[in-house]
Amino acid sequence: MTDKIASKPSMDELIRPHLLDVKTYEPIDPPELLAKRAGIPEDRVIKLNGNENPFGSSPKALEAVAKAPLHVYPDPLQRNMRAALSAYTGLGDEYLIAGAGSDELIDLLFRLFISPGDAVIDSDPTFGMYGFCARVAGADTLLVPRRADFDIDVEAIAQAAARPGAKIIFVSSPNNPTGNAVSEDQVRALLDTGLVVVVDEAYFEFSRLTVAGLVPEYENLVALRTMSKWAGLAGLRVGYGMMSPRLVNHVIDIKQPYNVNIAAEGALIASLEDSDALLRRVQAIVDERERMFRLLDSIPGVTPWPSYGNFILCSFEPGMAASVYDGLAARGIFVRRFSAPRLADSFRITVGAPHETDAVIAAMRELVAVHS
Ligand SMILES: Cc1ncc(COP(=O)(O)O)c(C=O)c1O
């Protein structure tokens, strides 16, 4: 008996070895915690760290959520959502699949293509979810540095793609957090490697740049989008992918059957029906982005990077970014810093409402002046 107990495995032996000390995703904290940290009421927090939508959700989406029949499971084949997405994207429903945020679709692509020891290609710096999912999947990430202007290095990616075990190339376009986009020619060159090319168009509505038109042409192309940013549904978790019908069917086969909940389904459909109004809000955010860019550009020591998204990356003179970030946080203004070494002197600011831009700019002017 004692022998048996002695031979019981420890928890560490049961957990998969590559997950024992996995480096997790660096998430953003919720507003109530930010408020507590700054010692201010929650309604005074200026939250510009999550690329969320300052206008909130469509009233029609809110109505759909309120009316959603929560006691009923959603349709596993997502027929109504896919029909609505078809009308919005111009692609047939067979090319479309929805996920609980585009994050879930990224994870499903790992499940579909990646075995431990396989590799994915990432253009650094970029969105942290690809690397995080790779770590969880036990995959290697081949990090290809972006060029000085943050453009992707197509030749270096093609070289990495020739490495044994390489399966997926991830490209965020516009890239979070640098704001630049890739061209169709660059994407075609990546597709010619034969690997799966995932173009993450989370910020499509702010850029109007897309490779959706190439999806019927290339079986190895996956384009991802989200309702989190332009439609203000980040908290509900709903996004979608555009890919060959063959890949859609594989994703359907492996996804959780009820992956997108019924409230999110209703909100997605209502938001697409209200897309004209939502796109007017997007235009207001784009106009505000340009105003914020000019204001940032006028602060000595600050270099804003042109952006196609709803955010702007700012680079600072060496040593300045951390103290400006801390100074903003102490004033209840939260922006996003990153652990990537190349972004040590930078942070990203989400484009919010005009009064939020004014507040962040005024605070940055003061904080930068203290430094010089
Ligand atoms: C490039 C990129 N892709 C995907 C996502 C995640 O979107 P979702 O909220 O749909 O999971 C984000 C969110 O910040 C993003 O920046």
How far apart are the CA of 37 and the centre of ligand 1, in A? 26
Indicate if 212 and 90 belong to the same structural domain: yes
For the CA of 229, the closest atom of ligand 1 is: 9
Indicate if 316 and 238 belong to the same structural domain: no
Q: Work out the average pLDDT over 240-265.
A: 98
For position 28, what pLDDT does the model report? 86
In which element (H, E) is residue 341 found? none
Asked whether residue 185 is assigned to any structural domain, the reply reads yes
Q: Does residue 103 line the site of ligand 1, with CB under 6 A?
A: yes
pLDDT in tens, 128-164: 999 999 999 999 999 999 999 999 999 999 999 999 9
Letter string b/e over residues 252-290, b meaning 16 or more CB atoms within 10 A of that residue's CB? eeebeeebbbbbbbbbbbbbbbbbeebeebbeebbebbe
Asked whether residue 11 is assigned to any structural domain, the reply reads no
Nearest Cα to Cα of residue 203 among 73, 52, 60: 52
Q: Does residue 202 line the site of ligand 1, with CB under 6 A?
A: yes
> Whose C-alpha lies nearest to ligand 1, atom 7?
102
The number of folded domains in the chain is 2
How does the average pLDDT of the chain come out, rounded?
96
CATH of the domain at 318: 3.90.1150.10
Query: What is the reported pTM?
Result: 0.96
Asked whether residue 296 is assigned to any structural domain, the reply reads yes
How far apart are the CA of 103 and the centre of ligand 1, in A? 6
Nearest Cα to Cα of residue 83 among 278, 265, 279: 265
Asked whether residue 307 is assigned to any structural domain, the reply reads yes
Side chain identity at residue 36, one-letter code: K
Q: Work out the average pLDDT over 348-362.
A: 98
Indicate if 71 and 157 belong to the same structural domain: yes
> Whose C-alpha lies nearest to ligand 1, atom 12?
202
Indicate if 152 and 266 belong to the same structural domain: yes
pLDDT in tens, 283-333: 999 999 999 999 999 999 999 999 999 999 999 999 899 999 999 999 999
Indicate if 154 and 227 belong to the same structural domain: yes
Q: Does residue 102 line the site of ligand 1, with CB under 6 A?
A: yes
Letter string b/e over residues 132-154, b meaning 16 or more CB atoms within 10 A of that residue's CB? bbbbbbbbbbbbbebeeebbbeb
Indicate if 220 and 116 belong to the same structural domain: yes
Among the candidates 239, 274, 309, a domain finishes at 274
Asked whether residue 244 is assigned to any structural domain, the reply reads yes
Asked whether residue 120 is assigned to any structural domain, the reply reads yes
Residue 107 clears pLDDT 80, i.e. is over it: yes
How far apart are the CA of 224 and the centre of ligand 1, in A? 9
Among the candidates 210, 239, 274, a domain finishes at 274
CATH of the domain at 225: 3.40.640.10
Indicate if 110 and 233 belong to the same structural domain: yes
Indicate if 349 and 328 belong to the same structural domain: yes
Give residue 287's domain range: 21-50+277-371
Asked whether residue 287 is assigned to any structural domain, the reply reads yes
Indicate if 251 and 319 belong to the same structural domain: no
Band of the pLDDT at 72, cuts 50, 70, 90? very high
How is residue 41 written in tokens?
């009421």
How far apart are the CA of 174 and the centre of ligand 1, in A? 11
Band of the pLDDT at 1, cuts 50, 70, 90? very low
Q: Does residue 175 line the site of ligand 1, with CB under 6 A?
A: no
Asked whether residue 9 is assigned to any structural domain, the reply reads no
- Reduced to 3 states, what is the DSSP secondary structure of residue 302? strand
Q: Does residue 122 line the site of ligand 1, with CB under 6 A?
A: no
CB atoms within 10 A of CB 97: 29
Indicate if 29 and 143 belong to the same structural domain: no
pLDDT in tens, 16-25: 999 999 999 9
